[in-house]
Amino acid sequence: PCNLSGWWENDLGSKMQVFKVGNDGTFSGEYHTAVSSAKNPIQPSPLVGSQHLDEDGQCTFGFAVNWKKFSDSTAVFVGQCFSGDDGKEVLHTSWLLREKVNSETDDWKATR
């Protein structure tokens, strides 16, 4: 079965550490992004999430990252863990990033 605990790295060099997945599937950790449009220096950011604990090990999961240490934005990720024929676990994710805007009329440009 797929175990999200530990370190993960994506194609852009961002890293995520999941501390421990509880018996109910909840987890926390830190996200170390390698890319940002923020003016402040990048810092590790807290994440919280939940994993669907499937017996076949190819579970779905989701987590939110609060970039509060260097940006006024929040990101959410959803994905699935796959176990390849070589036994290596791979995560496939999609994400949304919400940036703070100054007015409701600017809402259209706040999510990517």
Q: How confident is the model at residue 1 (pLDDT cuts 50, 70, 90)?
A: low
For 22-74, write each residue's pLDDT tens digit: 999 999 999 998 887 777 778 899 999 999 987 776 789 999 999 988 888 99
For 87-110, write each residue's pLDDT tens digit: 888 999 999 999 999 999 999 999
Indicate the pTM of the whole model.
0.86
Domains of the chain, earliest start first? 6-109 (2.40.128.30)
Give 3's contacts (C-beta < 8 A, 6+ positions apart): 21, 89
DSSP the chain: -----EEEE-TTS-EEEEEEE-TTSEEEEEEE-S----SSPP--EEEEEEE---TTS--EEEEEEE-TTT-SEEEEEEEEEEE-TTS-EEEEEEEEEEE--SSGGGGGGSB-
